[in-house]
Amino acid sequence: MLFIGLYLVALGVGGIKGSLPAHGAEQLDESTPQGRKQRSTFFNYFVFCLSCGALIAVTLVVWVEDNKGWEWGFGIATISIFASIPVFLGGSTTYRNKIPSGSPLTTIFKVLIAATLNRSPSNAVASMATSPSYPTQNSKEAEEENGKAIVPAQTPTESLGFLNRAVVNKPAYKAVECTVQQVEEVKIVIKILPIFACTIMLNCCLAQLSTFSVQQAATMNTKLGSLKVPPASLPIFPVLFMMALAPIYDHFIIPFARKVTKTEMGISHLQRIGIGLVFSIIAMAVAALVEVKRKRVASNLGLIDSTEQLPITFFWIAFQYLFLGSADLFTLAGLMEFFFTEAPTGMRSLATSLSWASLAMGYYLSSVIVSIVNNFLGSLNHRPWLSGGNLNHYHLERFYWLMCVLTGLNFLHYLFWACRYKYRSTGATKYEVTNYQST
């Protein structure tokens, strides 16, 4: 029953986090500079609100679970979700809702299948030469495909040319008949995937620090005056940093950057993501240095083989969380806005969901890396870095340095793709007008 409940929670949270960012941003007018600035503010404060919820979870809920029982903690979360439903529905009469246009996954699979079946490039070339008006939308679909009216493209672009095979006069099957617009939209989604992949490593670092840092804190002095702080509440540090940084970023950093760069955005989406990745590198380096200090204290006091609490405050761990929280804010908010801005209108919810897919894949990758490191060292007859009953016997500092190196290499990988990416807003050749309906 517990696992069934967890799977249902995952299903519900996935639906909320995948849809809410796109729905909220679509309430703003993208056709004006003020609307685009408000959109950026929305994503900042969306992350801020997530941090507020996390703050309650790692303080009040953790305290209740430790002192009253886990069932009370689950009960608080359940009641909170039920209370949020009428609040959300209360604004339903004022929401701007995008006209439904079908599943974006259907379009993606249709284009990929059509490109695979139509393998003869000569067919595509002949099709484009003899019928330049095809395959644009016709009749009403030409005006409302994916919820927007467009100036039709005559021929597909040359980038990702293998997808152009999907555009033929006589496709093998009517069901996979595609339009130029659909092909171009799939190309856009494929082009943002490398940026998505480069953020997985940051979330892997988040997973490592969320687990091992709690174990580190359990060996340290966690008293705050007369109050003993549970190690499970340690994530309060990055949460507080994110809550403090979000308004500072929106009201001070961005206005200053706009004045300096004389641009509407101040800091571009890819620059913001890159800053977050740099902070993640620093976070892992700081984590390694803090672990070196913790083990030095244990060694100087002869407590390496002991499980006694060390006379070193757990506030040392706050330093690595300072950079980790900053990295998460810059990258998560920047990534969601990047996906929302660059993705085709009908695929925005799918694109913003990639932010959470990156988080999930980062946590899975963290487990894989730990297993690989331990198994590799075991095969060389060396003591695994991350196994045993005493954290003082771990080589956690070496593992953190390894993660620092991997994160640095990931940043170089990110630079490769980011420097070559051409923003859709500057490179698009078609004019889009988004159609919405109010409820």
CATH number at residue 266: 1.20.1250.20
Q: Determine the pLDDT at residue 154.
A: 62
Specify whether 185 is located in the same domain as 206. no
416 and 139 Cβ atoms separated by less than 8 Å: no
Average pLDDT of the segment spanning 254-271: 88
Q: Residue type for 294, please?
A: R
Average pLDDT of the segment spanning 387-401: 87
From 189, 215, 237, the end of a domain falls on: 189
Specify whether 395 is located in the same domain as 262. yes
C-alpha–C-alpha distance, residues 410 and 394, integer Å: 25
Predicted confidence (pLDDT) at residue 289 exceeds the cutoff of 70? yes
From 163, 189, 215, the end of a domain falls on: 189
Q: Residue type for 335, please?
A: L
Average pLDDT of the segment spanning 210-225: 84
> What's the domain count of the chain?
2
Per-residue pLDDT tens for 397-421? 999 999 999 999 999 999 999 999 9
Specify whether 233 is located in the same domain as 332. yes
Specify whether 256 is located in the same domain as 146. no
Specify whether 163 is located in the same domain as 244. no
Least confident of 192-196, 205-209, 368-372: 205-209
Q: What is the largest CA-CA distance in the chain?
A: 83
Is residue 29 domain-resident?
A: no
C-alpha–C-alpha distance, residues 111 and 185, integer Å: 10
Q: Determine the pLDDT at residue 425.
A: 58
Predicted confidence (pLDDT) at residue 273 exceeds the cutoff of 90? yes
Specify whether 218 is located in the same domain as 300. yes
pTM: 0.82
How remote is the C-alpha of 158 from its chain's centroid?
29
Specify whether 269 is located in the same domain as 239. yes
Helix (H) or strand (E) holding 432: strand 432-434
The token duo for 75 is: 């009960």
Torsion from C-alpha of 270, 432, 189, 121, nearest 10 degrees:
-130
Domain hosting residue 158, numbered range? 104-189
Q: Determine the pLDDT at residue 170.
A: 65
From 189, 214, 244, the end of a domain falls on: 189
Specify whether 181 is located in the same domain as 136. yes
C-alpha–C-alpha distance, residues 43 and 47, integer Å: 6
Per-residue pLDDT tens for 290-340? 999 999 998 888 888 887 888 888 888 888 888 988 898 899 888 988 988
Is residue 203 domain-resident?
A: yes
Question: pLDDT category, 145, cuts 50, 70, 90?
Answer: very low
Least confident of 130-134, 198-202, 417-421: 130-134
Specify whether 248 is located in the same domain as 169. no
Q: Where are the alpha helices (DSSP H) in 118-264?
A: 121-130, 141-144, 180-198, 200-218, 236-248, 254-261
Q: Determine the pLDDT at residue 282.
A: 95
C-alpha–C-alpha distance, residues 406 and 384, integer Å: 19
Is residue 70 domain-resident?
A: no
Higher pLDDT, 130 or 103: 103
CA distances from 301 to 260, 294, 304, 307 (A): 52, 11, 8, 12
